[in-house]
Chain A
Amino acid sequence: MTTTMHLEDDDLVLHYYGEMAEADEARAETHLAGCSACQQNYTRLQRVMAFVDSAPAVEAPQGFEAVAWARLQMELPARRGNWLSWFVFSPARLAFAAGVVVLIGAAFMAGRLSRATAPGGAAAVQTAEKVRERILLVDLGEHLDRSQRVLVELTSADDSAGSVDISTEQVRAEQLVAANRLYRQTAASTGDVAMASILDDLERVLVDVAASPSTVSQEDLDAVRRRIASKELLFKVRVISSQVRERQKAAIPQRTTHTLGS
């Protein structure tokens, strides 16, 4: 950069943020003072930046604090025993959860990779992966079945009395949230967008239910039901649940007859 040459757009960015080297900065100042073209360009940059600054940040939805807390409660480790029950927060459970992330990732990836032809020398690794995949598919299938049951119970709960006790569904939803989050994140990180999206919709309903009072009004329950219906959540969860079951079946190794010398 020289005082005679015009300032590049990138120079103006550095100047705007005060990131130019001292000598360059002085030259830029001098150039800007005497060059109307660069001044105009710099003014345009400043106006865009001012426009960016004037945009308010995106706010969290109403009631976000309660939802954030409901999600957190599931994963906070116990402190001096006065937090939620041991089975929700125990280190063993957290370790299990961490293991689940790794294993689900392997299962998701295995589901994808198993379509490709594996090299012949990797038989042992493949077998171990298949076992992991089967275990995880069973866990995921169970998670989806349990989630389905919660959705069905919410959808079919008798609300004729005007208010409904959902404490049982609430406890189940609480227990499902943390695992669901792990499954969702893993699906997202392995590029399974469809699965991640359904699990995200499911998680929002589970968190809502977990954060609700144990007795809800008919209107509140209707709102949850509308949410389930609008996303066709029950149907979608059934579909992926049956897909997971299909994958479970496909992951069961075919029996082979071993003969001596073969």
Chain B
Amino acid sequence: MPHTDATTVALARDGDAEAFRSLVDRHSRAVYRLAHRMTGNTQDAEDVVQDTFLKAYRQLGRFESRANFSTWLHRIAVNCSIDLIRSRRHQEAGHDAADLEALDGAHGSDERVDPSPERLMLSSEVQERVGRAMETLTHMERAAFVLRHFEGQSIEEISRALGLKANAAKHSIFRAVRKMRLALEPFVES
């Protein structure tokens, strides 16, 4: 009979490598999904998965057996993603206006390439459209948007997590939504 997460964590805490491996097997995909959403690229997502499990391993002793392991791990993964994004913060200057202009320019060609609403209904197409729209966001905008939209965190929580003033966090979300609307409205409306 397979072990529950709580039992497996207890075994891993006692030094059972195979138990920890089974936690990696069970949860690494979910962590990857979250990390990719937060960071927007494969390499960073893989690094976040690695950092998440390393951190989880080091903190296994602090995990309370009554808690839900996947929720606990999810929180660690969010923090690892934020750490990585914050480390990139200096690399991105404010290029909001330029982004929006570039996005405007890119629109027409996208529409010409694939105007078919039937094709857009395919989930891979939707994934690609949304993925491309999210690529236009800066690291900070992306993180703020993902935390607000997918993770359901409040602006207050996001500002704390990202080390921004509440107003800056709010405006990161505004800019992100503006870019997403600009990129996606033509396809949604068609």
| A contact set with B: CB distance below 8 Å | 9-10, 13-14, 17, 19, 44-45, 47-49, 51-52, 54-60, 64-65, 68-69, 71-72, 75-77, 79-84, 181, 185, 189, 191, 200
Contact = CB atoms under 8 A, between A and B. Distances in A.
14 contacts: A19-B154, A49-B149, A52-B130, A52-B133, A57-B34, A57-B37, A58-B37, A60-B33, A68-B46, A76-B20, A79-B17, A81-B15, A185-B47, A189-B87
B86 interface: no
B74 interface: no
A83 B17 contact: yes
B33 A51 contact: no
Instruction: Sort A-B residue pairs by CB-CB distance and give the 9 closest, nearest first.
Output: A79-B15, A55-B130, A80-B15, A60-B32, A57-B33, A68-B28, A58-B36, A65-B25, A55-B126
B54 interface: yes
Given A10-B174, A65-B28, A185-B47, A56 B123 contact: yes
A69 B22 CA distance: 9
Interface in B1-26: 14-17, 20-21, 24-25
A148 B25 CA distance: 31
Given A44-B185, A44-B189, 13 more contacts: A17-B148, A47-B189, A48-B185, A54-B126, A56-B126, A59-B32, A60-B33, A69-B21, A75-B54, A76-B17, A77-B57, A79-B15, A83-B15
A76 B56 CA distance: 11
B59 interface: no
Contact of B43 (A59, A68, A72, A200): A200
Contacts of A75: 50, 54
Interface of B: 14-17, 20-21, 24-25, 28-29, 32-34, 36-37, 43, 45-47, 49-50, 53-54, 57-58, 87, 91, 123, 126-127, 129-131, 133, 148-149, 154-155, 170, 173-174, 177-178, 180-181, 184-185, 187-189
A64 B24 CA distance: 10
A52 B177 CA distance: 11
Nearest to B40: A58
Contacts of B184: 48, 51-52
B15 A82 contact: yes
A58 B131 contact: yes
B93 to A, nearest CB: 14
Contact of B127 (A19, A56, A76): A56
Contacts of A189: 87
A64 B47 contact: no
B127 A68 contact: no
Contacts of B36: 57-58, 60
Contact of B188 (A47, A59, A80): A47
Nearest to B124: A56
A148 to B, nearest CB: 22
Nearest to A185: B47
A48 B154 contact: no
Contacts of A14: 170
A55 B185 contact: no
